[in-house]
Structures are given as structure tokens and as C-alpha cells.
Structure 1
Amino acid sequence: MAENQAFGVSTAAVPQGGSKCFDDDGRLKRTGNVWTASAHIITAIIGSGVLSLPWATAQLGWIAGPLAMFLFAVVTYYTSLFLSACYRSGDPVSGKRNYTYMDAVEANFGGFNVKLCGFVQYLSLFGIAIGSTIASAISMMAIKRSNCFHASGGKDPCPINSNPYMIAFGIVEIILSQIPDFDQLWWLSIVAAVMSFTYSTIGLGLGVSRVAETGEIKGNLTGISSGTATQSQKVWRNFQALGDIAFAYSYSMILIEIQDTIRSPPSEGKTMKKATLVSVTVTTLFYMLCGCAGYAAFGDMSPPNLLTGFYTPYWVIDIANAAIVIHLVGAYQVYCQPIFAFVEKYASEKFPANKFITKEIEIPIPGFRPYKFNLFRLVWRAVFVIVTTLISMLLPFFNDVVGLLGAIGFWPLAVYYPVEMYILQKKIPKWSSRWVRFQILSVACLIISIAAAIGSVAGVLIDLKSYKPFTTSF
């Protein structure tokens, strides 16, 4: 029997060349293409992070802000190409498949690196689940607040507690988390990708309309002025802004898992290169427009979440925030599938005779393939969602959490491991000019990640001084 290492599913082995129903590794034929892979990537990239970009641009200014977004895009694109080349070990067409990020690290390094990579990857994914829950609650609260603001004519500040909205989001995720694996998420990713374009376009339009209405392009070349923040606050915020931008481009941690859904021929690497180019180009264009339009509209007063700065036209704000919630519902699932798959695979290997873990009950669904119900999946995934929801209720600080997540995951997952694995794959000689360039890139990104982490931790500590868990309203 050949085992699906990504999701712990066993299928009958077939000859190396594959067949009409099976691929060369014995798994059912993969059906993904450039567009489904692009949808997964866009769902992962254009998330809640786009809403913090005007704030990040405000901290850095008109020169450093757009430049930072462009540089992060370039780095993300090239390191994603390095990582996609590691999907197969050896020959890019017929080499052994690495189903997950950890499989790729194990094939190239093994030992301690696998455990370290797994820890960072799953910690980042866990954190993104928390960030998605916080962002969705903020958007749902924004809908309530805009309607309240409209009804009171702007007289009521409309303080709202975020906890009920986080709980509602968690309930929806408990239900959707029962979708077994990535292959069955394609429709949710497409819906989420459409929603991401919807709210990004609305945010961009509102920023442009605000500039047109006032006839003034706000902001300055060096970021927030001394009157808005102290010198030390400006330093911390600059670091945090870099973390926000890094988070906005984070998807490397699930790149291999997305690539494992792609059919071949052509080779999965070629298809993934096209999908990466399409996705990073589109998202960078949106990021530049949204970040700059929001900064031009609000200047030093750019809000942590772009859409919270607008109250009219309230029905447009409601549509945009509803689109964010729908997108985050899908993004949560895309990011959490690798965690779900890892835990379920480990449990089934550790306790192969335990019926609670391994037994699947087929439930027929007219017009679709039967749904395989598993009791362990139901319980464990529900517990996971509940835990992320509770942590979100304890730390509902959108910008600080976003910056910290970007800092934690960017260097090791988006730069270090892709670069080092690519060096091994291509047998690049140590101390050659190419090797030196790669090391300079890696060290520079490490320094940025450390600075971003420091700035975000400082932000969390400041927020905690005035926050009371489960009671503070926003």
C-alpha cells in the first residue's frame, strides 16, 4: 500500500507511470491547475493583512512604504520558486514527491531541522487561525458599528464587545473544519478569492474617493510625524509595519501542500511557477493601490484596519466587511488543513487499532461522492477551533498580532528553508558568488524579522496595559 503522507490516506499502489485513475505515487489523480492553485494562493495571501497596509505605509512614509511592499513581493516570489522546485526530490518530473513542507525539509536535511521546521510552520498556521478570528470579529463589529453610527447620525460612539462575534465565527469554522482535505476545498478557495478582490477593491475605491473629496493627498516622505508619536514609538511602529507587510505576503508555509493538488503533465513545478507569478503580481498590485490610497486618504491617522476608518456610504462598508468575513472563513480552512492532516496522520500511525481514530463511516450524498465521517476528526478539529477562538478573545489586538505572526513565520519558512533546500537541490558550491548572494538575502531577512518581532511584542505589551480580557469593548 502507498500512503498519502499529506493526509494519512492509503491507496492501492500502481505502476510508476500512473494510470487513468491514479498518479505515479498510487494516489487518486490530482486535478488542480494554474487557476485552482492561484485561487488557493490568493486566498492565502490577500487576507486580513491587506487592511493593515495603509497603517504600515503611514509608519514608513511615501518612500519606504511602497518600496518595502515591492521588496517583500520580489523576495516572496523568488523564494517561492525555490520552494516549488523542492516538491520533487531529484528529477523535477519523476522524482519522489514531498507532500508537505516538512516532507521537503526531511528529504533535504532530516533530523532536528524537521522538528524545528514543523514547530515554526504549525505555530505560524495556528497563529494565522487566531489572526483570522480576530479580523473577522473586527469586520462583523464594523458592520454593526456603521449601522449604529448611521442610525444615530454620528452621535453614538457605539462601543461593541468582540466576544460574541468571535464565538459566531468559531461555530462556522467548527462546521467547515469537517471538510476532509485540501482537494475538497477548491470551491471555498475560489469563493474566498473573489471576496478578497471585492473588499480590496472597495477599500481602494473608498480611499480614492476620500482623496477626491478632500482634494488633498495626505502623508509625508518619512512616515508619521513627531507630533503623532514619540521617537521611540515611531521606531517600534516602523518595526511592526515591516511585520505587517511580511504577514501580508505569507503563504510559503502551505505552498508545498497547494502544489500537491496540481495535476501533471506539465510538471507540478512549471504549473506552480505560473500560479506564483500570477498570484504575487496581482496581490502586489492590489497591495500597492490599497496601501497608498489608504495612506493618501488618512495620512498619519491611518487606522489599523482600513475599513474601520470609513462610515459612509454605510451599505458599501457593510458589503466590504461581509466580504472580509466570508474570505476569512475560507482562509482559516486553507491555513489549518496542514495542521489537521499532520495530527490525524500522526494519531492514525500511533494508534492504528483504535477505532475512534481510524474508523470512517461513509454517508451517501446524492450527486456527490460519499462523505467519510470520522469521530476523531469531529472532536479534535472542534477542540482546535475552540482553542483558537478563546485565545483570540484574550488577545484581540489586530495589528500587533498580525505583525508578530509575520515576524515569526517570514524568515524561517519563506526565506531560510527555501533558500537552503534550493542550494542543496541545485548543488550550488559553497562560497560561490551565487551562494554568497543567497546568504546575504537570508541574513537581511533575518534581521528584518527580528526587528518586526520586537516591534510587535512592544505593541502587545502596550495594549495589555489598558485591556481587560472578555470585558473591554472597542
Structure 2
Amino acid sequence: MAVQHSLQVIDGRCDDDGSPPRTGTAWTCAAHIITAVIGSGVLSLAWGVAQLGWVAGPACMLCFALVTYVSAPLLSDCYRCQDAEKGPRNRSYMDAVRFYLGKKQTWACGSLQYLSLYGCSVAYIITTATSIRAILKANCYHAHGHDAPCSFDGSYMLMFGGVQLLLSSIPDFHDMAWLSVLAAVMSFSYAFIGLGLGLSNTISNGVIKGSITGVPMKTPLAKVWRVSQAIGDIAFAYPYSLILLEIQDTLKSPPAENKTMKKASIISILVTTFFYLCCGCFGYAAFGNDAPGNLLTGFGFYEPYWLIDFANACIILHLLGGYQVYSQPIYQFADRYFAERYPGSGFVNDFHTVKVPLLPPYRVNLLRVCFRTAYVASTTAVALFFPYFNEILALLGALNFWPLAIYFPVEMYFIQRKVPRWSTRWLVLQGFSTVCLLVSAFALVGSIQGVISQKLG
């Protein structure tokens, strides 16, 4: 068997651990990262720059790009255990935390990770409902004028939840590649439309709007809260640590996966930073202090209305798939947990074949139906109760930025590289982590205040 396995590895028919061979390159890896990172967060960047002003806004985006540039290689070095180039592989973020930091840290990491995934599902419901209303408003304004009383309720969240109930019947990631490809194409489409509209409005205005200090507020404290929310929005748009090791697991070797990943990270950070600066700055230049919270639904743009409709339709299609991308890890965790906890339960483990006319037979598991229905219903209920786009994005960005993008990668890197305590490298990285913690805490407090004030207001 050992001889046969070694021959398979040499032939390239099998990977070094018996799994199918990996074929990813730096360019495919960068494409995965860019596709995952450029999402609904890009739509709030113009608002974020407006709160910070022409100096602090772009500088903040560059700082987060630099932080991502530093933290991503630390995590990529933890892909292989013990030896960064030849050790056993950690196929996921949770696997790496479990190996390097132990079971208690894994529970903490898992709780934050799944809370983040749940929060993103809620944010996607809010965004989709906003985009549906934006299409109806754009048509209403086009037909009756920009001063027409065009208003629509929040029932569209229920419509989105109903569609997600159907899509949640997809068993796992392996069966939803088509949905991910569609979502990726849509995300680039609406992001480019937002960029183009911001640029065209700036040119047609003949002047660059905005100021050095950003949107003025009535009191200094109110300005501090707005700045903290803007930082949270930008933090939401950048890090990709939750998916970094999963993407790295697609890379072929040699060369060593961490070397390829570092190259791909540089490419993706440069592309996304350029794109974010363009979207945020052109949006602010076009609207100044009136920059909308969501660039494509805040109605700075009215015409051409058909292009606004198309962009928002792209957002809706993207988020149909995006919701599933963020929900599937929770679904898979629930499937594994209950199967291990109740191995003899027919409710948990049995599959039933359902035949629908004109469709192939479909296998149904009662646990999946019940759990996924409850999950979609709960996320929809939370979205209905807290329908605040910018504040929710800022809260998610602030909550996850330090622990998932900084703390765990730094602590794992110390163990993987055997960095001595109080050495220069240890002190520098601890200082880096502490600064990021303070920034994350500042953004978190402001984001919570924003959600509360919106609810009370």
C-alpha cells in the first residue's frame, strides 16, 4: 500500500495525503480572494470616506490594506503544522486554531466565526431588501419625478427569506458551484457600475465635493461616534482570514503553499485597495457630505434608471448566493454535530426520497429541513428588527477584525515559528496586535451606539 500510494503521488493522480491533487496557482488564488472580498461592503465605502474626510478616509483604507498585508502571511505560514513547507496540512481556520492553540481557544474562535457568519447572513437580508426597494423607487422616481412620495415597506425581507428556504435545500458547497460563480459575476458587475457612476457624476459636476474633515456633526461626541462607525465599515470590507486557509488548500505544491499564498495576497490586496479607493473616493467626490450609506440604493443616483435597476438586480442575485456561502459552514457544523451526538436517531440520520413531477428524485433529511428553516427564519427576524445597513456592517467589521484577522493568526504564528517571548519580533507583533485591538474596540463601541441610536430614533 505504501508503494502504491507513493506511485500515485509521483503520477500526480493523488495528493500527498491521498486526496485528489490540488491544481491552484497564485492567480487562481488571487481570483478567489478578490471574488470573496469585493462584496456588499464596497457599497458603504463612500459613506465611510464622507465621515472621515479627504485625508483620514483614504488613509484609513490604506492602513487596513497594510494590516491585511501583514496579517495574511502570518496565517498562511500556519497552513502546515510544525514545518511551514512540509508538515501536515490544516485545511481550515478552525483546524489551525485547534492544532496550535488547543480546544478552549478553538471554542472561542468557533463562536466568533459562526457569529460572524450568522451576522453576514443578516446583513445580506437587509441589503437585498434595500436593493429591491431601490428598484421600485428608481422606477417610481423616473415615472413621477424625484420629489414623488415613493416609499415601500420591509416585506421584501420575507420574500428573500422564502427564496433562501428553497436554496438551503442544497446539501453542501460541492453542489453549489454554479451559484457561487453567478454570485461572483454579479458582485463585479454592481461594483463596477458603482465606480462608473461615481466617476461620471464627478465629471458632470465639474467639481470635487467633500472636505478635509468630512461630514460636520452637531457635537464633537457625535463626530467621534460617526468616525468609529466608518472605521467599522472599512474593517468589514477588507480581511479574508476566515477563508484564507481554505483557499490555500487549493494550491498545488511545489512551490510551498505559503510562498504562493503570499504572492497571491499581495496581488489581491493591491487590486482590492485600488478598487476600494476608487469606489470610496469617487463616491465622495460625486456627493460630498451627502454621500449615501449604500452607494447604489441611497439615491444619489437617479438616472439612467435602467442602469440603477440592473445594478440592484445584480446585488440581489449576488446576495442570494452570498447568503448560502456564509450559511453553509453553519449547516455543515450542525449536520456533523447532531450526527455524532445522536448516531442512532432516524430523524437525524435517515434520508427520504421525494419525487416531484418533472424533476429528478430528491433526498430529504428531516433534521436539515427543520434546522435550516429555523436558521433562515431567525436571520430574517433579526434583519426585520435591526434593518440598519451601515450600522450592522460596522458592528460586524469591528466585532471580527481583531480576534479573527489579528489575534489568532499572531498567536498561532508565535507557536509555529517558535518565536521567543520578549524577542524583537515578539514585541513588534504584540504591539501590532494591541494597536489593532484598540482600533477594533473603538469601532465596536461606536457601532453599538449607532445601532442603539437608530433603534431608539
Which residue is 2:166 aligned to? 175
Q: Output the CA distance in 2 between the equivalents of 1:453 and 1:295.
A: 24
Report how far residue 138 of structure 1 moved: 0.9
TM-score normalized with structure 1 length = 0.87
Instruction: Determine whether 1:421 maps to 2:378.
Output: no
Aligned with 1:329: secondary structure? helix
The one-letter amino acid paired with 1:458 is Q
Which residue is 2:45 aligned to? 53
The size of the alignment, in residue pairs, is 446
Which residue is 2:191 aligned to? 200
Q: Output the CA distance in 2 between the equivalents of 1:397 and 1:373.
A: 36
Report how far residue 204 of structure 1 moved: 1.3
Q: 1:436-469 CA deviation, whole Å, 9 max, x = no partner?
A: 1111111111011111111111111111123xxx
The one-letter amino acid paired with 1:160 is F
1:59–1:155: structure 2 CA closer, same or farther, 3 Å change rule? closer
TM-score normalized with structure 2 length = 0.90
Which residue is 1:161 aligned to? 153
Deviates more, 1:87-96 or 1:121-130: 87-96
Which residue is 1:436 aligned to? 427
Report how far residue 209 of structure 1 moved: 1.5
Aligned with 1:97: secondary structure? coil
Greater helix proportion: 2
Q: Output the CA distance in 2 between the equivalents of 1:326 and 1:266.
A: 37
Q: Output the CA distance in 2 between the equivalents of 1:183 and 1:31.
A: 17
RMSD of Structure 2 on Structure 1 (CA): 2.5
The one-letter amino acid paired with 1:328 is L
Regions of 4+ moved over 6 Å? 361-364, 369-372
Q: Output the CA distance in 1 between the equivalents of 2:291 and 2:418.
A: 47
Percent identity, aligned pairs only, is 52
1:198–1:185: structure 2 CA closer, same or farther, 3 Å change rule? same
Choose the corresponding residue for 1:231, options 220, 228, 236. 220
Q: Output the CA distance in 1 between the equivalents of 2:182 and 2:265.
A: 19
Deviates more, 1:199-208 or 1:288-297: 199-208
Q: Output the CA distance in 2 between the equivalents of 1:376 and 1:21.
A: 37
Contact 1:101–1:253 (CA under 8 A) maintained in structure 2: yes
- 5+ residue gaps, structure 1, are 1-13, 467-474
Choose the corresponding residue for 1:332, options 323, 326, 329. 323
Q: How does 1:88-237 map onto structure 2 within 5 Å? A: 88-162=80-154, 164-226=155-217, 229-237=218-226
Q: How does 1:359-438 map onto structure 2 within 5 Å? A: 359-360=350-351, 374-438=365-429
Aligned with 1:88: secondary structure? coil
Which residue is 2:289 aligned to? 300
1:433–1:329: structure 2 CA closer, same or farther, 3 Å change rule? same
Instruction: Determine whether 1:275 maps to 2:267.
Output: no
Contact 1:43–1:330 (CA under 8 A) maintained in structure 2: no
Q: 1:192-251 CA deviation, whole Å, 9 max, x = no partner?
A: 22222211111111111111112111111121224xx43221110001100000001132
Which residue is 2:301 aligned to? 310
Q: 1:57-91 CA deviation, whole Å, 9 max, x = no partner?
A: 01111111001101101211321221122222123
Q: Output the CA distance in 2 between the equivalents of 1:359 and 1:265.
A: 42
1:93–1:295: structure 2 CA closer, same or farther, 3 Å change rule? same
Aligned with 2:102: secondary structure? coil
Q: Output the CA distance in 2 between the equivalents of 1:298 and 1:394.
A: 30
Which residue is 1:67 aligned to? 59
Contact 1:40–1:190 (CA under 8 A) maintained in structure 2: no
The one-letter amino acid paired with 2:246 is E
Q: Output the CA distance in 1 between the equivalents of 2:199 and 2:151.
A: 28
The one-letter amino acid paired with 1:87 is Y
Aligned with 1:96: secondary structure? coil
1:16–1:431: structure 2 CA closer, same or farther, 3 Å change rule? farther
Contact 1:240–1:403 (CA under 8 A) maintained in structure 2: yes
